[in-house]
Amino acid sequence: MKMILFSAYLSFIIYSLQSCINQDGTTVISDGPFLGCKLPGNEPELFAPGIVTGGYMTRDIAISPDGNEIYFGTRISKYYTILVTRRGERGWSRPEVMQHMEDPEYMNIEPALSYDGDKFYFLSNRPMSGNEPGGQDIWVMDRLGDGWGEPCNLGLPVNTDLPEFYPSLTMDGTIYFTRNETGSQTSYIYRSRMVDGLLQEPERLPEQVNCGQNHYNAFVAHDESYIIVPVVGRDDSFGGTDYYIVFRDQDDNWSEPQNMGNKINTEDGLEYSAYVTRDSRYIFFMSRRFMDLGSENLTFNLLQGLYNQPESGNPSIYWMEASIIDSLRGKAVFNDR
């Protein structure tokens, strides 16, 4: 019964994709990069409306090094899973629930790829053994041909009895992640260095990164030159959760956090998942924004149609040029030097 219900929810996603898929069901719009979407400028735009963004919640994007795989997270009702679309000889495939993420009993979200694209990290509450859901841990899969091997719990020293989530990887395999503290609703950003092929005991990052009242879901640049942190409770916030950027120098000093501005941040609280492409040209980020109907009168048919569209109440994935990062880099202040 649970699989029938889950299939019904997934059908809602597929329904919203039909107008963008060829009749043979194999390709989407065109064979261009980024699902054939027109590249954005310095203003945020919905990413792939009708393909990735719809009336449902979308968040957490990850793109393979060659640009031919796009993974993104979604939530419908209480169900969390990761979808994937791939670019092949005939173009982009229809988005589908990725391998090992089909069971509706467990949450799977927050995809992240290693720098070489051979490992896939994600958050899951799937059990280590048996059928009972486990805690929130980071899991990993190895690339296996065109797919992925069986998921493995990343284990110590990253995973503990506390909730760990939102992995982000550097070029050398160092992992940044979020951990909830014991007996607290507060989360902190941690880093576990990769040394001789082994992850080391995690360290909590300094107050420049763990600023404000709460902080989570940080994205680190592959070269570790900056980190984007969703933060709650700073005086310069636009409201709710805002994206802040903190730069890092070669001596592992961190700059003071900078609010990333009102093109990316709004007064809403549902802004907590960012990603920057490998070439540093585009930034993707989750945000909840609302369409403006202007003077159009409300009707039942209009409201029903809006329910299936982006910007109708659920957060979506937006993207824009990442030049904003360079402009903020020029304003970075390092007080610990």
DSSP 254: B
Question: For all residues of the chain together, what is the average pLDDT?
Answer: 89
CA–CA distance, 294 with 309 (Å, rounded to integer) = 16
Q: What is the pLDDT of residue 284?
A: 98
Q: What is the pLDDT of residue 275?
A: 98
Question: Can you give the residue ranges of every domain in the chain?
Answer: 2-20+45-291+299-329
Q: What is the pLDDT of residue 29?
A: 53
Fold of 2-20+45-291+299-329: Neuraminidase (2.120.10)
Q: pLDDT, tens digit, for every residue of 66-110?
A: 999 999 999 998 999 999 999 988 889 889 999 999 999 999 999
More confident position, 119 or 270: 119
CA–CA distance, 224 with 332 (Å, rounded to integer) = 15
5: pLDDT confidence band, cut at 50, 70 and 90? very low
The phi and psi torsions of 327 (rounded to 5 degrees) equal -65, -35
Handedness of CA 117, 112, 242, 207 (dihedral sign): negative
For every residue of 77-141, which 3-state class applies, written as one string?
Answer: CCEEEEEEEEEECCEECCCEECCCCCCCCCCEEEEEECCCCCEEEEEECCCCCCCCCCCCEEEEE
